[in-house]
Structure 1
């Protein structure tokens, strides 16, 4: 029994169980929910959330109660930038990706400088940046949908590319490998975990903690911009609030995946499971025809429940 309790206390085990339970519940409520093509569609949606959560997880692992509330606005900005650069042209896909990633990476760096150089709390800095970006998007787009995805990008995101799977799933797999290598096989990754566990001790050993933290916010912005490209590839066009729906889910996916909000612990594989579980939950709630506000209440309750269960197991680092 003790071993079972220990296993059930592991976030990865809980996330895996949640995925199986939600699949069973979805199939019970709507026969065909767990069909192969339906699972592929759900994984496509989970991949978009998972890419956004990749940047969020880096910021959280870095410690100092790091969080990036500007992710949603940056996704909207990335989608708007990519859509306007592409304007439906296949030949402009690469410039669109570079433009979207470059702009959002730069804004992420500004977030990082605000947190490190100006000592603004991450919650306040990223919340303020979210407001600035949202206001700028209204001015740029005049409140109307702006930009169109290239047909090749839409096909890459939505249509089978290899083995019956869309291209975005292979991109997500590559990101997973890159995240594993970055965090587990590089000095940068070791430094991020050390900083997240105890920033003061890391600084005393000579680690450039301010530079590291600034880069983490820059990477969070970069992943948000790439998510924006995927979003416009999935939907075909963009509007100013298209990324708002990813803010809370990106945080919940990180917590479900076992990343400690105190920093210094967690891995991206767990975050991927969290993104899949959360996407399944959203799909089940949609099957139940629950209104958007009801889904938001449940998402918030899930986050609070996870925090009570294991999100605050470790004391806050200094």
Structure 2
């Protein structure tokens, strides 16, 4: 397993590139295991003419500015060091995407991981929170002494490797689930809710986009929340999650059926979140995703015309 960390500069010019200034990595045999090897290379910036505010504060900036290596050379050294390791992890999920972005810019092949692990999300799941902690906060929480400066790619990869010892198998199991499922793990208990009738609508898509179908209510405070996307494995049943700011995430089920006249009518429910329902939701997520489109409000030309006619001097 390779734990990767990068430092980069986002310039002020029009080139959309987070230009990498340092690649740091450590090799582990498993999460929380002993560090077997380390890698670090500084990359001389040559795309952006100016450094942004964050890059100017990097403790090893001079090493990058005076590095003899351009990005393709540094990448070649990194891929040679990785050898046959194809499992990568980082803190926050951004580093490998930035690496790919730089590979595309320089037209060089990017590493092809067999697995990517967001250790920041896994650590948050271990703590039972959805908030992503900064690496230095996670190290502080774990009681890891700040022996090295942060924002050095190799040092940050070492800190990430040590923090990974606090990530258990349950957190990794939750990490493998879709984020929509993870949001429902701590849904509070609530009393049974009545189903809401919706429709009829002129078409199936109109029903999926309809206000009556997309507006479930929090079962604890009654706040109405918009559904942004439906998931479906069966043609007559649609599932989605929605979030109340005060009480967390809930799941809603929309059942649709055609009428004899060719229209569609529905029934919207907020059921109790059970393991069986979560499995059904997981299957629906993997089967089909349908984004909702809100209808555009009509302009009230009559009101505007009346206001104009009644204006003095009109």
For normalisation by structure 1, the TM-score amounts to 0.24
Higher-strand-fraction structure: 2
Q: Which has the larger radius of gyration?
A: 2
